[in-house]
Structure 1
Amino acid sequence: MQKMFSNMSVKLCPGLYCGRPRLNLTEGECGVCPRGERTDGQKICRMCVESPELYDWLYLGFMALLPLVLHWFFIEWYSGKKSSSALFQHITALFECSAAAIVTLLVNDPVGMLSIRSCKVQMLSDWYTMLYNPSPDYVTTLHCTQEAVYPLYTIVFIYYAFCLVFMMMLRPLLVKKIACGLGKSDRFKSIYAALYFFPILTVLQAVGGGLLYYAFPYIILVLSLVTLAVYMSASEIQSFRNLVAKKKRLVVLFSHWLLHAYGIISISRLDKLEQDLPLLALVPTPALFYLLTAKFTEPNRILSEGGNGH
Structure 2
Amino acid sequence: MAVDIQPACLGLYCGKTLLFKNGSTEIYGECGVCPRGQRTNAQKYCQPCTESPELYDWLYLGFMAMLPLVLHWFFIEWYSGKKSSSALFQHITALFECSMAAIITLLVSDPIGVLHIRSCRVLMLSDWYTMLYNPSPDYITTVHCTHEAVYPLYTIVFIYYAFCLVLMMLLRPLLVKKIACGLGKSDRFKSIYAALYFFPILTVLQAVGGGLLLSVQTEL
**Same fold judged by TM-score > 0.5?**
yes
User: What 5-or-longer segments of structure 1 have no aligned partner?
Assistant: 218-265, 269-310
More strand by share: 2
Equivalent residue number for residue 186 of structure 2: 185
User: What 5-or-longer segments of structure 2 have no aligned partner?
Assistant: 21-25
Equivalent residue number for residue 170 of structure 1: 171
Q: Deviations over 1:182-207 (max 9, x none)?
A: 11110100000000000111111111
| Alpha-carbon offset, residue 26 of structure 1 | 5.2
Equivalent residue number for residue 22 of structure 1: 18
Q: Secondary structure at the match of 2:47?
A: strand
Q: Secondary structure at the match of 1:69?
A: helix
Worse overlay, 201-210 or 52-61: 201-210
Once the two structures are superposed, the pairs formed by residues 136-147 of structure 1 within 5 Å of their partners are 136-147=137-148
Equivalent residue number for residue 11 of structure 1: 7
Between the aligned partners of 1:156 and 1:136, the Cα distance in structure 2 is: 34
Equivalent residue number for residue 298 of structure 1: none
2:10 maps to a residue whose letter is: P
Root mean square deviation, CA, Å? 1.9
- Greater CA radius of gyration, 1 or 2? 1
Report the identity percentage: 80
Equivalent residue number for residue 201 of structure 2: 200
Change (3 A) 1:87 1:11: same
Q: Deviations over 1:144-166 (max 9, x none)?
A: 00000000000000000000000
Equivalent residue number for residue 120 of structure 2: 119
Change (3 A) 1:162 1:27: closer
Equivalent residue number for residue 244 of structure 1: none
Equivalent residue number for residue 35 of structure 1: 36
Q: Secondary structure at the match of 1:22?
A: strand
Native 8 Å contact 1:12 1:43 kept in 2: no
Change (3 A) 1:105 1:121: same
How many residue pairs get matched?
A: 214
1:46 maps to a residue whose letter is: Q
Between the aligned partners of 1:192 and 1:135, the Cα distance in structure 2 is: 44
| Alpha-carbon offset, residue 173 of structure 1 | 0.5
Equivalent residue number for residue 52 of structure 1: 53
Native 8 Å contact 1:21 1:45 kept in 2: yes
Please list every run of at least 4 consecutive aligned residues from structure 1 whose deviation after the TM superposition is greater than 4 angstroms. Answer: 24-27
| Alpha-carbon offset, residue 27 of structure 1 | 6.0
Equivalent residue number for residue 110 of structure 2: 109
Once the two structures are superposed, the pairs formed by residues 1-310 of structure 1 within 5 Å of their partners are 11-23=7-19, 28-215=29-216, 217=217
Q: Which has the higher contact order (CA 8 A, sep 6+)?
A: 2
TM-score under structure 2 length normalisation? 0.92
Native 8 Å contact 2:19 2:28 kept in 1: no
| Alpha-carbon offset, residue 23 of structure 1 | 2.2
TM-score under structure 1 length normalisation? 0.66
Between the aligned partners of 2:121 and 2:209, the Cα distance in structure 1 is: 18
More helix by share: 1
Equivalent residue number for residue 23 of structure 2: none
Q: Secondary structure at the match of 1:207?
A: helix
Equivalent residue number for residue 249 of structure 1: none
